[in-house]
Amino acid sequence: MTYSQYPDVRERLINLPNFDNKVIHYGYFLGVNQYDFKFEYTPSYYTELKYKDVAVEQKKGFSVGLIGDLRINKFINLRFEPGLFYNRRELIFPEYLDFSRESDQLREIKSTFIHLPILFKFSAKRINNFKPFIIGGFSTDFNLSSNEKSSDDNASNIFRTTSQNINYELGLGFDFYLYYFKFSPSLRGVFSMQNEMIPDSNPESPWTGKINNMFSRGVALIISFE
């Protein structure tokens, strides 16, 4: 068969046909993120005091980092994606009688995470220059903005958080094979597995006294270039 005999037949250009055969390859990523907190309160929080939930005002942050990818087989890759995640959140506490000033209701939490995930990427079969995938694994964060060792607490307008936490991650995305590189947008969920709140010195603190645990919940849009 020749294309001259069948003029309606068109050859589809396959970009980077041998890209997925590499045992190891590298890249980088950029992205935006937004984090929330999940609170677990003491039993008396609702039954005795009938307080409202602590509200979280989420701010958009940014993410940047590197990618190391190890091919396990045709459909599974092991990835290490060290990066820097920056975000900011504001905690808005209900109107407690203990608060003497309106500013006591607001606490700002800034986080600059060194984010170190180990992820498994499960890919579907490539269709021309397109391939969907799901990704998941575990990560640890080192918070460079943490004030864990500070002797001041909310009485001095400082809401303390831990300097390290462990997360699990889940996400989905698509690989697009371009002429010179692979472009991959993905949406990731990041879920902390350990309490990040450091209680105030006063066990009856209106900020931390009625909270047992505080966990980060984040979503990130990641754009990778490989």
Alpha helices in the chain (DSSP H): 44-47
Q: In DSSP terms, which residues pair with 37 in a beta bridge?
A: 216
**Residue 9 token pair:** 């037949």
**Residue 187 token pair:** 């949406």
* CA–CA distance, 17 with 103 (Å, rounded to integer): 59
Tens-digit pLDDT profile for residues 99-115: 878 888 999 999 999 99
CATH (residue range 19-225): 2.40.160.20
Mean pLDDT of 114-129: 96
* CA–CA distance, 140 with 161 (Å, rounded to integer): 15
Tens-digit pLDDT profile for residues 166-219: 999 999 999 999 999 999 999 999 999 999 999 999 998 889 988 999 999 999
| pLDDT recorded at residue 137 | 98
Is 63 in contact with 85 (CB distance < 8 Å)?
Answer: yes
Pairing relation of β-strands 76-80 and 83-92? unpaired
Phi/psi at 39 (nearest 5 deg)?
Answer: -105, 145
